[in-house]
Amino acid sequence: MNNPLVFLTKESSALWRVTLNNPPVNIFGPKTIPQLNEIISAIESDPQVKVVIFESAIDGFFLTHYDFLSAAEDTTSIPPGPTGLLAWPDMLVRLSRAPVVSIAKIRGRATGCGSELSLACDMRFASREKAILGHFEVGAGIVPGGGPMARLPRLMGRGRALEVLLGADDISGELAERYGYVNRSLPDAELDDFVESLANRIASFDKQALSETKRFADIASLPPDYELGAEMTVCNASIARPEAQRRIKLLLDRGLHKAGDVETRLGYHVGQLGCRNPV
């Protein structure tokens, strides 16, 4: 594969690892979609895999926002997936429903698309010192598109979900745990061992028992497809609006898409866009 941005490693037949690797800041875009889709399809169809860990190879960035420099048609030309949804929500829905346990190990920024991927996973564990979660999109004039409005209120309640979505600020790993955004935040030095131990423990159990138990939990907790499909449609329309284009351009002019302060503190910088005298 030319320019692989997502790597699949089979630690064993039962335990797989998906590593996100698009330096410098792990932006997600149309080139990533077919690569991740191939992996999601493998996860769905393999009869032996039981647990999949999602992690990053990029220091400070789990997965961030969509690629605003790519041509719109590069994304809109991608056909809907097997669920009938557009490609990104389709993959997230399929991951959530796959008969496999998915775990997001969050070290660095999981914002925008990174948050949406994490929310689609069955469990999320974060570095207390290094994880940042959140949705900056509203601050950039955009409606989030990968399901956070459908998923976050079910995890943390309506008020806290609206604080995250409408406040458009960065959420630390510690606060994410308090809000129910992640299962746990752990000291960074303990994160790897904890996730590996839990993943291996689950991978030692019977797959049918795991998948049937997960299926009943899904009935009680997962949003219906129509909620996620509508979000993506509105997201795409919002990006094209003049105000969103103006704000995206301001962010690009200040360093979006590049390693540096804007990407590292995106929640802060979107909060400055409407200020008369930004600091």
Active-site positions read: 116, 137
In degrees rounded to 5, what are phi and psi of residue 185?
Answer: -110, 135
Contact yes or no for 152/120 (Cβ under 8 A): no
Distances (CA, A) of 50 to 38, 152, 200, 251: 17, 25, 10, 41
Say if strands 109-111 and 61-63 run parallel, antiparallel, or are unpaired.
Answer: parallel
d(CA 123, CA 236): 28
Structure tokens at 13: 């037949």
Q: Which residues of 19-54 are buried (b: 16+ CB within 10 A; e: fewer)?
A: bbebeebbbbbbbbbebbbebbeebeebeebbbbbb
Query: CA-to-CA distance for 111 and 171, rounded, in angstroms?
Result: 9
Locate 189 and state its tokens: 């030095």
- The one-letter amino acid at 146: G
Residues 6+ apart with CB under 8 A from 274: none
Structure-block tokens of residue 277:
């005298």
- Quote the Cα angle for 168-174-176, to 5°: 45
Tokens found for residue 200: 């291996």
With beta carbons less than 8 A apart as the criterion, state whether 155 and 116 touch.
no
